[in-house]
């Protein structure tokens, strides 16, 4: 077959294979065009899940009558005019492919009127065949109708799902848009019935827009995130670890207002939650990243779902550290309205015999004067020194004292701290405590495990990673690209405790490994480290392996079930929980405490009815 020029209609239908995947893709492209035109209200009318009809009406600036045929021409756009414009594009659309692609696989009409025009104009396109522009009555703005999607491409139409499925894809995209654009009113109808309305003109608030889009449960567990630096700004909401999902259905990332799926950011978020998320569960978040448009390339895919950062390592580190610091503040007693206002004195668990506040500082009904057991030595403070003994042969280094943790706040009512005061131990497993709002239940092993784990990490951070030389250098066979990464990232590997040199095109010579992990599988760990460095530009494999070992040490050193604690010891544990980072979850992501308000307890017994 000779080489020939394809007709424009076929070219547009081929392009539609990338741009128009399903009705939700059509809604996305048309609504984004409306937003780029300055619309503050968009009406979306659907029939049969968008397969039979998609009608988008907006109150934007409108299109000139003579420009309507140009609007459905390939690579015609008002968004950019030069390469410089493309490199700093700030609009949602810019490629000039959506309208001609959609019009080539549907019965399409485009109607519009500008504010100063006497009347509107309309243009019909049937399967890519463009008609004439005719006058018609129309309010200011633009209306696009897409009927019988894929009617002339049966192979594509038969792959569409059921009406309910296609509608759910549209609703999910509109939910994502509503989170990003609270200033725009969105009205949705399906088969002639109003189905959804997002009010515009306001800011996203946990009790309003978050509740409206993601539900009351997410809004009640949302933590506000706001951080700027190095020309970057990250803001939004992340759900506390206690609110986790079986799937990644509540993960929204926006770059300069554009909803994207970015593996680099997703990996940074996953790493930030790694220490507090239960195995197999997914975090929920709504994050907005803002940066200079010149630092991000949005022209990666025709559907514009993906972006490419010019400084991906910096982005990864910025997101990871911001979220890690936010999650570090999820201390027990903070959530659920238990947080107070005035500071409370720290009470180390290792000194539990002296941990009980003086009777005069406690409410009378919480004072306990019965016989006391002899103090139980839980020896949390011994674990860091035991860990430090691993480096007895290493040169002594003076570690900077750790910064003082912020003290938890006492409740305004009677000076009761957030987790209250212990009243009993249940089955040798749980601590029951009373605070100003009701009942606190603490899993003592899980709580003590987290406290010991955080202290071990702090002790190790003060000592740093120490390399242990191997008696016989280990030769490691790797792929050529992995060897290239090892050669390029030699300084990073040294900081992680590895002494690695390239001994051949596909081999490495390993002369030292991290001392704490010397008995693990250094070859497999090094391969994982190289894979992370190649894909993300940095790695936490060594620290994750270290944390896993320290977590095991903390678990074995934590107080066991059926161990009777004295009230001073129980209260000391509560005070330590209030000042320990991430104490709301144990090392494995399970919750360490629960709160039952007095009103909730009253309901158990039908009080007040």
Which range (183-192, 246-255, 539-548) has the least confidence?
539-548
318 and 374 in a common domain: no
- % of the chain beyond a pLDDT of 70: 86
What is the pLDDT averaged over residues 355-369?
38
Q: Is the pLDDT of residue 224 over 60?
A: yes
Average pLDDT, the chain: 83
What is the pLDDT averaged over residues 298-327?
89
262 and 227 in a common domain: yes
Q: Are 550 and 456 in contact (CB under 8 A)?
A: yes
Q: Is the pLDDT of residue 387 over 70?
A: no
d(CA 272, CA 274): 6
414 and 349 in a common domain: yes
Pick 62 or 353 by higher pLDDT: 62
- Asked whether residue 204 is assigned to any structural domain, the reply reads no
| CATH code of the domain in which 274 resides | 3.30.230.10
Q: For residue 337, what pLDDT is reported?
A: 29
Q: Is the pLDDT of residue 353 over 90?
A: no
218 and 194 in a common domain: no
| CATH code of the domain in which 503 resides | 3.30.1540.20
Q: Are 53 and 147 in contact (CB under 8 A)?
A: yes
DSSP for 113-141? E-TT-SSEEEEEEETTEEEEEEEE---SE
Q: Closest by alpha carbon to 419, among 506, 526, 335, 360?
A: 335
Q: For residue 458, what pLDDT is reported?
A: 86
pLDDT per position as a tens digit, 508-520: 999 998 887 777 7
Q: Which long-range contacts (CB under 8 A, 24 or more apart) does 193-201 make?
A: 196/171, 198/174, 200/40, 200/41, 201/40
β-sheet bridge partners, residue 501: 509
Q: Is the pLDDT of residue 370 over 80?
A: no
Number of domains observed in the structure of the chain:
3
Question: Phi-psi category of 588—alpha, beta or left, where left has phi over 0 and alpha has psi -120 to 50?
Answer: alpha
Q: For residue 390, what pLDDT is reported?
A: 38
- Asked whether residue 333 is assigned to any structural domain, the reply reads no
What is the pLDDT averaged over residues 554-561?
86
Q: Is the pLDDT of residue 32 over 60?
A: yes
- Asked whether residue 528 is assigned to any structural domain, the reply reads yes
Q: Are 548 and 519 in contact (CB under 8 A)?
A: no
Q: Is the pLDDT of residue 369 over 50?
A: no
Q: Are 64 and 40 in contact (CB under 8 A)?
A: no
Residue found under tokens 């896993």: 548
Q: Which band of pLDDT confidence, cut at 50, 70 and 90, is reported for residue 83?
A: confident
Which of 299, 328, 357 terminates a domain? The answer is 328
What is the pLDDT averaged over residues 179-197?
93
Q: For residue 340, what pLDDT is reported?
A: 33
299 and 192 in a common domain: no
Which range (156-170, 402-416, 478-492) has the least confidence?
402-416
Q: Are 500 and 508 in contact (CB under 8 A)?
A: yes
Question: Phi-psi category of 344—alpha, beta or left, where left has phi over 0 and alpha has psi -120 to 50?
Answer: beta
pLDDT per position as a tens digit, 266-293: 999 999 998 898 888 999 999 999 999 9
- Asked whether residue 536 is assigned to any structural domain, the reply reads yes
What is the pLDDT averaged over residues 80-95?
84
- Asked whether residue 359 is assigned to any structural domain, the reply reads yes
| Side-chain-side CA neighbours of residue 532 (13 Å) | 19
Which of 307, 328, 349 terminates a domain? The answer is 328
463 and 482 in a common domain: yes
235 and 161 in a common domain: no
Q: Closest by alpha carbon to 320, among 272, 287, 357, 356?
A: 272
Q: Which long-range contacts (CB under 8 A, 24 or more apart) does 378-382 make?
A: 378/349, 378/350, 378/352, 378/448, 378/559, 378/569, 379/350, 379/557, 380/348, 380/349, 380/350, 380/448, 380/451, 380/452, 380/455, 380/557, 381/348, 381/350, 381/455, 382/350
d(CA 318, CA 255): 14
Residue found under tokens 């406690």: 362
320 and 355 in a common domain: no
310 and 388 in a common domain: no
Residue found under tokens 């071990």: 456
Rounded alpha-carbon distances, angstroms, from residue 432 to 427, 489, 527: 11, 52, 47
- Token digits for 517? 């992990």
- Asked whether residue 334 is assigned to any structural domain, the reply reads no
- Token digits for 255? 């770059």
- Asked whether residue 3 is assigned to any structural domain, the reply reads no
Q: For residue 203, what pLDDT is reported?
A: 52
Which range (1-10, 328-337, 488-497) has the least confidence?
328-337
223 and 180 in a common domain: no
Q: For residue 450, what pLDDT is reported?
A: 93
Pick 144 or 536 by higher pLDDT: 144
Q: For residue 522, what pLDDT is reported?
A: 82
561: number of Cβ within 10 Å: 11
Q: For residue 202, what pLDDT is reported?
A: 58
Q: Which band of pLDDT confidence, cut at 50, 70 and 90, is reported for residue 465?
A: confident
Quote the domain boundaries for residue 181. 8-198
Q: For residue 363, what pLDDT is reported?
A: 43
| CATH code of the domain in which 59 resides | 3.30.565.10
What is the pLDDT averaged over residues 95-113?
92
453 and 309 in a common domain: no
- Which helix (H) or strand (E) segment is 577 a member of? helix 567-579
103 and 26 in a common domain: yes
Q: Degrees (nearest 5) of the Cα angle 568, 571, 572?
A: 85
DSSP 16: H
d(CA 28, CA 570): 56
Q: Is the pLDDT of residue 31 over 50?
A: yes
Q: For residue 384, what pLDDT is reported?
A: 43
Q: Which band of pLDDT confidence, cut at 50, 70 and 90, is reported for residue 205?
A: low
Helices of type H across 466-505: 480-488, 490-495
Which of 274, 299, 328 terminates a domain? The answer is 328
Which range (44-48, 227-231, 396-400, 546-550) has the least confidence?
396-400
pLDDT per position as a tens digit, 116-160: 999 999 999 998 899 999 999 999 999 999 999 999 988 888 889
Which range (346-355, 388-397, 482-491, 537-546) has the least confidence?
346-355
């Amino acid at each position: 077959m000779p080489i020939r020029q394809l007709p424009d209609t076929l070219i547009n239908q081929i392009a539609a294979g990338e741009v128009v995947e399903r009705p939700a893709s059509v809604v996305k492209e048309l609504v984004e065009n409306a937003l780029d035109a300055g619309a503050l209200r968009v009406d979306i009318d659907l029939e049969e899940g968008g397969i039979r009809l998609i009608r988008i009406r907006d109150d934007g600036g409108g299109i000139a009558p003579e420009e309507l045929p140009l609007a459905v021409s390939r690579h015609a756009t008002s968004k950019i005019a030069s390469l410089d414009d493309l490199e700093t594009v700030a609009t949602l659309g810019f490629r000039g492919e959506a309208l001609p692609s959609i019009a080539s696989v549907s019965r399409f009409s485009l109607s519009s009127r500008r504010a100063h025009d006497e009347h509107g104009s309309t243009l019909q396109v049937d399967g890519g065949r463009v008609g004439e522009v005719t006058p018609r009555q129309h309010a200011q703005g633009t209306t696009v109708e897409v009927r019988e999607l894929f009617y002339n491409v049966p192979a594509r139409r038969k792959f569409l799902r059921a009406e309910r499925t296609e509608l759910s894809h549209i609703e999910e995209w509109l939910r994502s848009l509503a989170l990003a654009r609270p200033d725009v009113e969105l009205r949705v109808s399906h088969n002639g019935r109003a189905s959804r309305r997002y009010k515009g003109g306001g800011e996203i608030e946990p009790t309003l827009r978050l509740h409206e889009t993601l539900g009351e449960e997410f809004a009640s567990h949302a933590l506000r995130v706001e951080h700027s630096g190095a020309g970057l700004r990250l803001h939004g909401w992340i759900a506390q670890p206690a609110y986790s999902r079986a799937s990644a259905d509540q993960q929204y990332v926006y770059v300069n207002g554009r909803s994207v799926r970015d593996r680099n950011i997703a990996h940074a978020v996953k790493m930030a939650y790694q220490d507090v998320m239960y195995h197999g569960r997914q975090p929920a978040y709504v994050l907005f990243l803002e940066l200079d448009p010149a630092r991000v390339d949005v022209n990666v895919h025709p559907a514009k779902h993906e972006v490419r950062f010019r400084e991906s390592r910096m982005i990864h580190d910025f997101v990871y550290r911001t979220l890690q610091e936010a999650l570090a503040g999820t201390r027990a007693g903070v959530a659920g309205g238990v947080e107070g206002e005035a500071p409370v004195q720290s009470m180390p668990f290792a000194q539990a015999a002296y941990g009980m506040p003086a009777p005069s500082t406690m409410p009378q009904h919480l004072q306990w004067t019965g016989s006391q057991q002899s103090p139980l030595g839980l020896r949390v403070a011994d674990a860091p020194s035991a860990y430090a003994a691993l480096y007895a042969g290493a040169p002594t280094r003076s570690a900077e004292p750790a910064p003082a943790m912020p003290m938890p706040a006492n409740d305004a009512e009677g000076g009761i701290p957030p987790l209250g005061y212990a009243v009993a131990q249940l089955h040798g497993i749980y601590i029951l405590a009373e605070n100003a709002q009701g009942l606190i239940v603490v899993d003592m092993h899980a709580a003590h495990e987290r406290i010991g784990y955080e202290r071990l990490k702090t002790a190790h951070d003060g000592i740093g990673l120490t390399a242990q030389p191997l008696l016989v250098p280990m030769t490691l066979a790797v792929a050529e690209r992995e060897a290239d990464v090892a050669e390029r990232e030699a300084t990073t590997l040294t900081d992680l405790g590895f002494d690695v040199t390239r001994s051949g095109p596909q081999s490495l010579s390993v002369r030292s490994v991290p001392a704490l992990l010397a008995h693990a599988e250094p070859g497999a760990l090094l391969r994982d480290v190289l894979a992370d460095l190649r894909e993300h530009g940095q790695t936490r494999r060594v620290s994750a392996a270290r944390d896993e070992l320290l977590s095991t040490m903390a678990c074995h050193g934590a107080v066991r079930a059926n161990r009777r604690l004295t009230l001073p010891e129980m209260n000391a544990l509560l005070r330590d929980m209030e000042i320990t980072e991430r104490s709301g979850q144990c090392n494995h992501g399970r919750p360490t405490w629960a709160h039952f308000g007095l009103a909730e307890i009253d309901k158990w017994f039908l009080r007040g009815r």
